[in-house]
Amino acid sequence: MDFDIDSYMKIRKAWVDEALTNIIRVKDQPRPLFEAMSYSLMAGGKRIRPVLMMASYEIFKDNSQEILPFACAMEMIHTYSLIHDDLPAMDNDDLRRGKPTCHKVYGEAIAILAGDGLLTEAFNLLSDPTLGINWPLPTQLSVIHEIANAAGIKGMVGGQAMDILSEHKDVDVETVKFIHTHKTGAMIRASVRVGALLADSDNNALRLLTQYGESIGMAFQIVDDILDVEGDTSLLGKKAGTDNQLEKATYPHVVGIEESKREAQKLIESAQDSLITFEERAEPLRQVADLILKRNT
């Protein structure tokens, strides 16, 4: 098999980057707000969530460029969450993807508003009536609901709150699992599911892809925790070791680094199992799962 995951991801990242540039135009007023949103959106993200959405869609359909508005909305919500997480009152990070964080460049007030703006514009984009040309309205509406659920208090926001509330505390593995499934897992799971929903997949396929999404979401965050312990600041583009400093509730912290690695490995194997029935059409999803395990940034 000569499938090249690097060029596969590079092509899709370029699509997403171009589409995002057309959504947030820095020439609009008030200029610093639009600049701040664009700065964080274009700071060199790997576009994992959009790639997952498109790869999931491609199991059923050929042209995943069709779903770029949905993929962009997901990336906008992800970017807003990074901007708010980095704020001094939250994780107080100065570096993100090797660059100064949004509030370091534009100040805290504009960073908060840039986050609020990206979140709101994601829903503006998702509810665009012209999308109705390509998708039945019930599908469009269920995608909005799926994403709002994943991003909200029963998903990402709830996980981030639990994360903050668990700092400097003795937490158990259940709390760490709550944080990981909510803070990171929910949006990764939703990215995979939205791809399937937009392709009008059957219930069994949706169930298998949901399992895949849940497994790689958890693995992704465990690897993130491991990288914070073992990773290299210059490769990561953010400071390693900050979890320990804030006494964050991490997987290595509660079960140790070796057990964390075994768990991540097991989750990726389980994710691969969920893809068997899709045969060669799931090759991109397979390779993304492997990348998640092997990444060093």
Helix spans in the chain (H): 5-23, 31-41, 48-57, 68-86, 102-106, 108-126, 137-151, 156-166, 173-180, 186-198, 203-230, 233-236, 242-245, 251-255, 257-275, 283-294
Contact status, residue 210 vs residue 193, Cβ threshold 8 Å: yes
Work out which of 19, 95, 149, 247 binds a second copy, going by CB under 8 A.
149
Work out which of 160, 184, 260, 274 binds a second copy, going by CB under 8 A.
160
Minimum distance, C-beta of residue 55 to a second copy, in the bound complex (Å): 25
- Residue whose CB is less far from a second copy, 121 or 283: 121
Minimum distance, C-beta of residue 24 to a second copy, in the bound complex (Å): 8
Position 138 contacts a second copy (CB under 8 A): yes
Contact status, residue 222 vs residue 267, Cβ threshold 8 Å: yes
Position 22 contacts a second copy (CB under 8 A): no
Cα–Cα nearest to 288, from 186, 274, 145, 17: 274
Position 173 contacts a second copy (CB under 8 A): no
* Spatial separation of the C-alpha atoms in residues 18 and 128, rounded to whole Å: 19
Position 29 contacts a second copy (CB under 8 A): yes
Minimum distance, C-beta of residue 176 to a second copy, in the bound complex (Å): 13
Minimum distance, C-beta of residue 111 to a second copy, in the bound complex (Å): 8
52-91 footprint of a second copy as x/- string (CB under 8 A): ----------------------------x---x--x-xx-
User: What is the SS3 assignment for 96?
Assistant: strand
Work out which of 69, 98, 100, 158 binds a second copy, going by CB under 8 A.
158
Dihedral of CA atoms 22, 23, 24, 30 in degrees, nearest 10, equals 110
Cα–Cα nearest to 226, from 254, 248, 250: 250
Minimum distance, C-beta of residue 124 to a second copy, in the bound complex (Å): 4
Position 218 contacts a second copy (CB under 8 A): no
Position 113 contacts a second copy (CB under 8 A): yes
